Amino acid sequence: MAFKRTIHAVDTHAGEPMRVITGGVPHIPGNTVHEKMVWLRENDDQLRKLMLREPRGYPPLCCNIIVPPSHPDADAGYIIMEQVEYPVMSGGNTISVVTVLLEMGMLPMKEPVTELILEAPAGLIGIKAECRNGKVKSVTFKNVPAFAAHLDAKIQVPHLGEVTVDVGWGGMFYVIADVRQFPHIELTPEHGAEIARISAMIRQAAIEQLPVAHPDYPGIGITISQLSGPTDSPDADWKNAVTVASGELDWDNPSTWTGALDRCPCGTGTCAKMAILHAKGELPLNQDFRHQGVLGNVFTGRLVEETRIGDYTAVVPTITGTSWIYGLNTYVLDHDDPFTEGFVVSDIWA
Catalytically active residues are: 90
Give me the sign of the Cα torsion angle 97, 102, 107, 113: positive
* Residues forming a β-bridge with 132: 135
Nearest to 350 by CA among 27, 83, 66, 10: 83
Q: Cα-atom radius of gyration of the chain, to the nearest Å?
A: 19
Assess contact for 163 and 202: CB atoms under 8 A: yes
* C-alpha span between 1 and 133 (Å, rounded): 40
Task: Please provide the DSSP assignment of 302-342 as one string.
Answer: EEEEEEEETTEEEEEEEEEE--EEEEEEEEEEETT-S-BTB
HSE toward the beta carbon, residue 166, CA cutoff 13 A: 22
* C-alpha span between 42 and 244 (Å, rounded): 22
* C-alpha span between 312 and 130 (Å, rounded): 33
Assess contact for 130 and 138: CB atoms under 8 A: yes
Strands (E), the chain: 3-13, 17-23, 62-67, 76-81, 113-120, 123-132, 135-142, 146-157, 161-169, 173-178, 222-229, 238-244, 260-261, 289-292, 298-309, 312-321, 324-334
Give the three-class secondary structure for 40.
helix
